[in-house]
Structure 1
Amino acid sequence: MVLKTFGWSFGITALGLVAAWFYGGWEAFGIVAILSVLEISLSFDNAVVNAGILKKMSAFWQKIFLTIGVLIAVFGMRLVFPVVIVAISAQVGPIEAVDLALNDKDQYQQLVTDAHPAIAAFGGMFLLMIFLDFIFEDRDIKWLGWLERPLAKLGKIDMLSVCISLIVLMVSAMTFATQAHQHGGTHVDKAATVLLAGVGGLITYLIVGGLSAYFEDKLEEEEEREHELEEAAKKSGKKAPAIVLAGKAAFFMFLYLEVLDASFSFDGVIGAFAVTNDIVLMALGLGVGAMYVRSLTVYLVRQGTLDDYVYLEHGAHYAIGALALILMVSIQYEIPEIVTGGIGVALIGWSFWSSVRRNRALARNGDPDSGDKAEVPSGV
């Protein structure tokens, strides 16, 4: 099972490390290895959230996610995205941006660093909305009941998550953005840039997330029919097929996954400049890491891990909320990647251990410690 799921990742790792060695010797080999580990540690929560969505999709769309989706994630976000940043921020053409990336690496890094406030605001708002919409939903299973119960009641207020996100954006623009750190140690006022990028991230979430929710609602409308099929199947001794997303529903869910992955990639791409400003090594290292995130996503789906460890999605979404706030703070202050990745891993590890304890309690007396019903949360 492990080899089948991670086989491509192992193969890409070997090719990537060999290519790095031919490109720049053992130093390049080490840089690619470090970047791969960095990407995996920063994106583990991404895999958990992706798995919650991917398990609802048909086998065909799962394959699309692992093929076309990988191309978008590896080449789009890890190679093309940094070049696009330079092209926009420096107001140059894509060919000139590529030339800068290959031949003037210091200038290239400076331009990407200068564009960080806009990137952080866009990604931070998108991820913050994901977290808020999750935490404000009233779920049958609650991990931190003392916190999630009152927040679920507040969630009944219409557009609360949007209002809170806009408040966070305004506060960030008036504080962090007015003293945004510029390359070379100077500080500049990036308030307008942060506001515009943040609103862009919010709008992107509302459009893509709204379309995904619309088609997911259609899936939920089929649940009654599925229940009837299951009842009929029980009488006949057969197992009823599960209703999975397909067609337009799966397409928009796939689109949502790709935008979600892009938002998760921002911190990895920016953080990679702390290791190297060589675009080739960056693409190799982050690309290898992205492959493992994809494989881990599939592993979680096929093993039914989210069904067995029901608090994992909670932990992943708390990690998303932490990452969103870190991105906003990073507009002014430099946050070490070990802090960003460590918080995410700690939250997911905590939620995993809580799930293990819950399962043990169920095995002992048939009722989890929390007293909540054993129904798997729906995800984002």
Structure 2
Amino acid sequence: MLLKTFGWSFAITAAGFALAGVLWGWKGLALVAILSVLEISLSFDNAVINAGILRKMNAFWQKMFLTLGILIAVFGMRLVFPVVIVAITAKLGPIEAVDVAINDHHRYEQLVTSAHPAIAAFGGMFLLMIFLDFVFEDRDIRWLGPVERFLAKLGKVEGLSVIVSLVVLIIAATTVATSVPVHGGDGTIDKAATVLLAGVGGLVTYLVVGGISGFFEDRLEEDEDEAEESAPAEKKSGGSVVGLAGKAAFFMFLYLEVIDASFSFDGVIGAFAITNDIFVMALGLGIGAMYIRSLTVFLVRKGTLDDYVYLEHGAHYAIGTLALILLATIKYDVPEVVTGLIGVALIGLSFWSSVARNRKETAAGDGDGSRQEVASGV
């Protein structure tokens, strides 16, 4: 099971390390290894979130996530995306932007870093919406019982997630975004308008992609219920459920890719603390991204989220923290190790709570009353 799931990750790691050693020597090999570890540590919570979505998809789309998805993650987000950002923000042509990325590493780093406020606002708003929609939803299983019960009551207010996100965005735009330090120079610059525009873009992207995928998922569930009630009639209909499932899975796949993109922002920016060579960066972060995808599939196939029910809670709280950290990095430098450790700590605590809950259930037996007593982790 382990080798089957992580086999491609192991193979790509070996090939990537060998390529790094040939092209850049021992120094390049070390940089690629460090970047891989950085990406894994920053994105472990991403794997848990992805697993919660991926388990709803069939084997074909799970395979697409590991094949086409990894190409998008490595070449799209770690290689092409920063160059596109440079081209847009610096108003360069595509060829000139590629030339800067390859031949002028210092200027490339400056241009990508100067675009960080917009990137952080977009990704921060997208991730914040994921977190808020999770905590404002009423759930049967609660990790932080009293807190999550209170938030679920607040969540009955229509559109509260959007309202809170917009308030947070306005606060960020009028505080940290008004005096952003100039990279490589003295003084500050006002990025309030940029942050507002990018933040609204992240919010709209979440509402559109998440809304469409949720719509098709609900339709799919309705058709499945109808199929169970009248199986003969469904056979006569020509298999509309299969087509609808394909649409649902497609938009959920898009949703997954946008989530992955939002998680990768801090990794791409943080990688400049290690190297400004675009190819070393793409290779190292790409290897890390491959492990995150393999870990996602592993969690799905092992049913880990069903066995350790608070893992999703811990991952979502880590997402909420990451969203706020991304907004803070518009002005302040937050070490990547801090971001990574917070995520690992929250997921570790949720895992420990899940283990404790399982032990209580085992000790209490199968009685309904006993199960209700351990419904909350804290």
**TM tier relative to shorter chain:** over 0.9
User: Contact between 2:360 and 2:374, CA under 8 Å: does it hold in 1?
Assistant: no
Pairwise CA distance, 1:226: 7.4
Describe the shift of the 1:270–1:369 C-alpha distance in structure 2 as closer, same or farther (beyond 3 A). farther
Other structure's SS at 1:246 match:
helix
Tell me which residue corresponds to 1:233: none
Q: Give the residue type in structure 1 aligned to 2:276.
A: N
Gap change, CA 1:186 and 1:18, over 3 Å in 2: farther
- Report the Cα distance in structure 2 between the residues aligned to 1:64 and 1:322, rounded to whole angstroms: 29
Structure 2 residue aligned with 1:350: 349
1:59-208 equivalent positions in 2, closer than 5 A: 59-184=59-184, 185-208=186-209
In structure 2, runs of 5+ residues without a counterpart are: 232-241
- Judge conservation of contact 1:125–1:324 (CA < 8 Å) in 2: yes
Alignment of 1:228-247 (within 5 A): 246-247=245-246
Q: 1:24 to 1:127 in 2, by over 3 A?
A: same
Is residue 361 of structure 2 the alignment partner of residue 362 of structure 1? yes
Q: Distance in 2 between matches of 1:278 and 1:320?
A: 28
Name the SS for the 1:282 alignment partner.
helix
What TM-score comes out, normalization by structure 2 length?
0.92
RMSD: 1.9
Task: Name which of structure 1's ranges 29-38 and 57-66 shifts more when overlaid on structure 2.
Answer: 57-66
Query: How many Å apart are 1:165 and its aligned residue?
Result: 0.3
The residue aligned with 1:315 is 314
Q: Which residue of 2 is the match for residue 372 of structure 1?
A: 375
Q: Cα gap change, 1:270/1:229 in structure 2, threshold over 3 Å: closer, same or farther?
A: farther
**What is the letter of the counterpart of residue 269 of structure 2?**
I
How far apart in 1 are the matches of 2:332 and 2:315? 24
TM-superposed deviation, 1:128? 0.2
Question: d(CA) in 2 for partners of 1:344 and 1:224?
Answer: 37
2:220 match: secondary structure: helix
- Deviation sequence 1:124-167 (CA, Å, 0-9, x none): 00000000000000000000012100000000000100000000
Residue 89 of structure 1 and its aligned partner are, at CA, apart by 1.2
Provide the C-alpha distance between the structure 1 equivalents of 2:109 and 2:79, rounded to a whole number of angstroms: 14
In 2, the alpha carbon distance for the partners of 1:135 and 1:343 equals 18
Whole-angstrom CA distance in 2 between matches of 1:368 and 1:335: 42
Question: Structure 2: which amino acid aligns with 1:118?
Answer: A
- Cα distance in 1 for partners of 2:353, 2:4 equals 29
**Which piece of structure 1 moves more, 98-107 or 121-130?**
98-107
Give the C-alpha shift of residue 41 in structure 1.
Answer: 0.6
Identity value in percent: 72
Partner in structure 1 of residue 44 of structure 2: 44
Q: Is the 8 A contact 1:124 1:323 kept in 2?
A: yes
Counterpart position of 1:215: 216
Q: Distance in 1 between matches of 2:207 and 2:355?
A: 35
Structure 1 residue 186: Cα displacement: 2.8
What is the identity, as a one-letter code, of the residue corresponding to 2:290?
M
How far the C-alpha of 1:181 sits from its partner, in A, is 2.1
* Contact 2:220–2:245 under 8 Å retained in 1: no
Instruction: Tell me the matched-pair count.
Output: 362
For structure 1, list consecutive stretches of 5 or more residues without a partner in the other structure: 231-242, 375-380
